[in-house]
Amino acid sequence: MDAIAIEGITKRYSSLTAVDQLSLRVRQGAIFGLLGPNGAGKTTTLRMIMNILIPDEGSIRVLDQPVSDRTQDLIGYLPEERGLYPRMQVRKLVVFFGALKGLSEAEADRRAREWLTRFELADWMEKKLIDLSKGMQQKVQFICAVIHRPPLVILDEPFAGLDPVNAITVKDIMLELRGQGSTIILSTHRMEQVEMMCDSICLINKGRNVLDGDLRAIKQSYGKNTLRIEFSGDDGFLRDSGIENVNRFGAVVEAKLRPGADPQEILKAAVQAGARISRFELLEPPLNDIFIEKVGHA
Amino acid sequence: MRKVWLVIKREYITRVKTKGFVFGTVAVPVFSIGVILFSIFMATRQTDHTLKIAIVDDVGGLAPSIVQNLASKKLANGKPEFAVEKTLEQPQPAAGIRDDLRAQVNSGGLDGYLVIPKDAATAEFHTKNAGDFMLYEPLSSAINNALIAGRLSDRGIHVDNIAAVVKGVDLKVVKVTKEGEAEDKGQTFMVGFVLAFLLYMTLIMYGVLTMRSVLEEKTTRIVEVLISALRPFQLLLGKIVGVAAVGFTQYLIWMTSAALLATYGSAMASAVRPGSSFPQIHVPGALLAYTAVYFVLGYFLYASLFAAVGAAASNEQDAQQLQWPVTLPLVFSFIMFQGVLRDPNSTMSVVLSEIPFFSPILMILRLAAETPPWWQIALSIVLLALTMLGVVYFSARIYRVGVLMYGKRPSVVELFRWLRYS
């Protein structure tokens, strides 16, 4: 069964087509990356999945049911633009959102205490939201999204504003939810997070699905065409005719090979030019490059 | 429905807990009752003991008659109001006597002395407590009665009970209604004005409160999470009903304190000072029921419009600019108060009280003044209810689109385009 099955949805605003004949399937139990440049139609797509917007054409099924008021309770949503009632008590706020998503108030209260304790917010439960730091508010909002342990969790930039310790807590909970059978949609611009966490992805550009499928398979389809090199000394060898373009990160350089170029030849040229090589690795292309290739010059 | 209920509950509890609500609802009536009782206390504090006075009669022959007249004035506790310690007719030397009396007033031997000059045009009462206006009426009526009796007897007419002779009439205005007749001491005007003004105030107040509440959820972006859990219309309904419940709580507390004041006002007033009383105002039950009906219908009409304004705006400034077309009919109703009260059955009054945007306030004014024909009441309620349903429908559509639109303030054309979005 698919967690989400989208068939040819289109959403138009007066002059703009935000989503254009988009079809997409998300396997149940996956961590699914929804990628795309700003304004690609990601938020509109997510809103249609959550029944906030209704597509002009096409159909959406969530967990094998057509999208409706009832499927809303199956979804937990963390929007990119965060916001909570500033003058409400933390615990009461979490209970309110839990109850809105179908929990009884007693159960919501029990879980609110449990989650807040887990996020080290136990001492802040009876405080007002405005008394919390921005990072703490992020954690509260994350709790509001997952308190009802939904079978489908939609997280838009879940790590934004979190310190490394809290980021690990959030990541662990995402994996825990998946372990319990939940499906997670991760929408982010941070490609390294997608590479580390996602099983499959969909890349949207201008409202269309330009690339989707299993992340490993996608990368394999590009083949090992990227060199990651760490070196000191002369960098003239990077102008080799076998290298299509170079991406410099300071200590590390990533070079994309032209089709048919031989990495051995490039290594030989580098050594001959007097560069001291400490790392020379042949890789599949990073997702970042695939993203840029697909949408960069479109 | 459970979700709507959650929204209502949250809205209600948050609003009722604010300092503004507590102050406006509880402190204001308590404070005003306190002020009224305090002023009764202040105004009547002299009257539980008999005032010792002297009378200086420069006319001659008046003093005994004044004493006789004052003797009939009694305090609430049965004691005489005045005790005349001495009377002086045409005393010599006048200045010396006055100095002596003044010294006695200052030392507390006398509470005051009354001087009737030769021409008897202006009498003077000399006292330390010159602000006690409760003294004026009994003293001046005693002097006047004595003077009139004197003048009549000069013309050969002898009168025993002068008070009975000079007693005039009071003019009562009696309000004629279908049910009968009732005395009206300007109550019609007051009750109608107060109820209509209360409606005007609360429609604006709770309308703006609804608008702010919608705008708050939009600017803090909570609304996106909310409408991923329930339909925008459910959310809107919950907010409007929640704020209405706050309004009803406020009304209930105000009316309870008004009822307490009507029931126990006189008791409280006499506890503060025996014998004082409290003005009684009677508000007919039917009028209160009509007020409730017009408040509910008018509130849903205006609150949904205000909510649409809150949803269309992205910040406080935009909201203020978009708000005035909604506030305008309310302000216009307020301006028309006087015209409608003066002639509640003029063509203008009748027409205005049938127009849905004005009827919640202006029909109440007419109802307080005199009961309009039943078909006029029924027509205005039906028109108001239908308009309200239509306005709620369109406001909900604007709300649904507006809460997700950020950026520039929408033009009227854009608002109409929003109505067509699915």
The pLDDT of residue B182: 62
pLDDT at B34: 80
Per residue in A149-182, pLDDT tens? 999 999 998 988 888 988 898 999 999 999 999 9
Region at A149 (left for phi over 0; alpha for psi -120 to 50; beta for the rest)? left
Checking DSSP bridges between strand A226-232 and strand A252-257, what pairing results, if any? antiparallel
Answer for the pair A49, A76: CB distance below 8 angstroms, yes or no: no
Tokens of B372: 């309009």
Distance between CA atoms of residues A50 and A219, nearest Å: 30
Lookup result for tokens 């309000």: B175
Strands B82-89 and B51-57: parallel
- The answer to whether residue B343 scores a pLDDT higher than 90 is no
Confidence check: pLDDT of A292 > 90: no
Mean pLDDT, range B269-288, rounded to an integer: 68
Q: How many CB atoms lie within 10 A of CB B309?
A: 29
Residue of B nearest to A67 (CA): B228
pLDDT of the residue at B90: 76
The residues spanned by each domain of chain B are 51-166, 185-420
Nearest Cα neighbor of B336 from B350, B321, B322, B317 is B350
Put simply, the answer to whether B225 touches A96 (Cβ < 8 Å) is no
Please give the ipTM for the structure prediction.
0.83
Please report which helix (H) or strand (E) contains residue B182, including its range. strand B180-184
User: Minimal CA–CA distance to B241: which of B297, B293, B300, B298?
Assistant: B300
Strand-pair partners of A212? A202
Query: What residue in B sits closest to A44 (Cα-Cα)?
Result: B404
pTM as predicted? 0.75
| A82-100 mean pLDDT | 91
Looking at the domain covering B51-166, what would its CATH class be? alpha beta
**pLDDT of res. B276:** 59
CA-based nearest distance A75→chain B, Å: 8
pLDDT at A204: 92
Test mutation, A45, A52, A62, A147, chain B, max B CBs within 10 A: A52
Tell me the nearest-neighbour CA distance from B185 into chain A, angstroms: 49
Separation of alpha carbons B195 and B285, rounded Å: 13
**pLDDT of A298 strictly over 50:** no
| Displacement of CA A251 from its chain's centroid (Å) | 27
Chain B residues near any Cβ of chain A (below 8 Å): 3, 6-7, 10, 14, 216, 219-222, 224-231, 404, 417, 422
C-alpha R_g of chain A: 23
When pLDDT is cut at 50, 70 and 90, the band that residue A239 belongs to is: confident
In chain A, the residue whose alpha carbon lies closest to the alpha carbon of B215 is: A85
* Alpha-carbon distance B27 to nearest alpha carbon in chain A (angstroms): 23
Contact A214, A59 (CB under 8 A): no
CB contact under 8 A, A96 and B422: no
Residue A83 to residue B6, Cβ atoms within 8 A: no
- Can you read off the two tokens belonging to residue A133? 């730091």
Beta carbons within 10 angstroms of residue A263's beta carbon: 18
**Better-predicted residue by pLDDT, A165 or B412:** A165
Per DSSP, the residues of chain A read -EEEEEEEEEEE-SS-EEEEEEEEEEETT-EEEEE--TTSSHHHHHHHHTTSS--SEEEEEETTEESSHHHHTTEEEE-SS----TTSBHHHHHHHHHHHTT--HHHHHHHHHHHHHHTT-GGGTTSBGGGS-HHHHHHHHHHHHHTT--SEEEEESTTTT--HHHHHHHHHHHHHHHHTT-EEEEE-S-HHHHHHH-SEEEEEETTEEEEEEEHHHHHHHH-S-EEEEEEES--GGGG-TTEEEEEE-SSEEEEEEPTT--HHHHHHHHHHTT-EEEEEEEEPPPHHHHHIIIIIT-
Judged by a CB distance cut-off of 8 A, whether residue A39 touches chain B is: no
The tokens describing B38, both together, are: 């305090």
- pLDDT tens digits, one per residue of A142-153: 999 999 999 999
* Alpha-carbon gap: B235 to the closest alpha carbon of chain A (Å): 11
**Whole-angstrom Cα distance, residue B222 to residue A93?**
11
Beta carbons of A280 and A237 less than 8 angstroms apart: no
- Rounded to an integer, the average pLDDT of B270-276 is 63
Matching residue, tokens 């079978």: A151
Predicted local confidence at residue B184, as pLDDT: 59
Compare A5 and B167 and report the one with higher pLDDT: A5
Residue that the structure tokens 């005051």 belong to: B112
What long-range pairs does A37-40 form, CB within 8 A, spacing at least 24?
Answer: A37/A205, A37/A295, A40/A204, A40/A205, A40/A206, A40/A207, A40/A295
Please answer whether residues A133 and A163 qualify as being in contact, where contact means their C-beta atoms are separated by less than 8 angstroms. no
User: Which band of pLDDT confidence, cut at 50, 70 and 90, is reported for residue B188?
Assistant: low
DSSP SS3 for B114: strand
Q: Which residue has the higher pLDDT, A31 or B88?
A: A31
Is the pLDDT at A77 greater than 90, yes or no? yes
Backbone φ and ψ for A42, nearest 5 degrees, come out as -65, -50
Q: Which of B412, B210, B219, B388 is nearest to B303 (CA)?
A: B210
A144: nearest CA partner in chain B: B225
Query: Which residues, including other chains, have CB under 8 Å from residue B16's CB and lie 6 or more apart?
Result: B246, B249
- What is the percentage of chain A residues whose pLDDT exceeds 70? 99
**Residue A61: strand pairing partners:** A5, A66
Structure tokens belonging to residue B338: 């006087």
Which run of H or E residues covers position B268?
helix B232-272
Quick: pLDDT tens for B120-158: 778 888 888 766 666 777 888 888 888 888 888 888 888
**How many angstroms separate the CA atoms of B3 and B5, rounded?**
5
Percent of chain B with pLDDT over 70: 87
| Residue A75 to residues A241, A258, B5, Cα–Cα distance (Å) | 51, 44, 21
Give the mean pLDDT of B189-208.
85
What mean pLDDT comes out for the span A199-223? Answer: 89
Element (H, E) at B113: strand B112-116
Mean pLDDT, rounded, for B261-277: 67
Do the Cβ atoms of A201 and A33 come closer than 8 Å? yes
Mean pLDDT of A248-274: 85
